[in-house]
Amino acid sequence: MKTFNPTQEMIDAAGKVFFCMTHLMTIEPIIKALEEKLLTEMQLKEVRNPEKVIVDSKYLYLASEKDAELYCEAYSSILSKNGYEEFAKDGKCPFLVAKKELTMAENHLIEVMEPITQTSIELLSSSGDFLKNRAELIDLTLKLLAPFVDSKAILEKEGVVNA
């Protein structure tokens, strides 16, 4: 039986995915709570159904343009007050940025593991159920690489203090 010996690039790619997953799981409830609090305070109404209040930011597109702009201004302010100044300055959502970083890390993992898995992003995208197949490939790949990943090394590479 042949022993699997991943390259350092494979180990690092898996470590980055683990880091991004943890970051996303950490930031999501914080950002969602800030958004919910703001939406509750603002009581934004849907344009086409004024009796209906928007309670989730993913439905903000249903508000009037003016209300959406007011929400974005208030959202930037609330981000600044809660330690997310750099996101408020750039007009970005910390949750969406973390989600994008995770997707990019997962794509990189798929790419570096292609010699082992024989599966590329292009091949996955031509499959019948892209998202399901992609998630399964990432899950299996992470299970394969997890024993080789050093969590302390990941934190040091990501610049986390007191790793």
What is the C-alpha separation between 66 and 152, in angstroms, rounded?
A: 47
What is the C-alpha separation between 71 and 59, in angstroms, rounded?
A: 12
What is the C-alpha separation between 41 and 34, in angstroms, rounded?
A: 11
Q: What's the confidence (pLDDT) of residue 67?
A: 95
Q: What's the confidence (pLDDT) of residue 162?
A: 67
Q: Is residue 162 part of a domain?
A: no
Q: Is residue 163 part of a domain?
A: no
Q: Is residue 130 part of a domain?
A: yes
Residues 71-126 pLDDT 10s: 999 999 999 999 999 998 888 999 999 999 999 999 999 999 999 999 988 888 88
Q: What's the confidence (pLDDT) of residue 13?
A: 97
CA distances from 20 to 9, 17, 58, 65, 86 (A): 16, 5, 22, 33, 18
pTM, to two decimals:
0.86
- Which candidate, 105, 139, 134, 122, places its Cα nearest to that of 24? 105
- Domain limits for position 78: 8-156
State yes or no: pLDDT of 10 exceeds 80.
Answer: yes
For the chain, what is the domain count?
Answer: 1
For 10, the token pair is 């494979």
Q: What's the confidence (pLDDT) of residue 148?
A: 95
State yes or no: pLDDT of 157 exceeds 90.
Answer: no
What is the C-alpha separation between 108 and 103, in angstroms, rounded?
A: 9
Residues 48-86 pLDDT 10s: 999 999 999 999 999 999 999 999 999 999 999 999 999
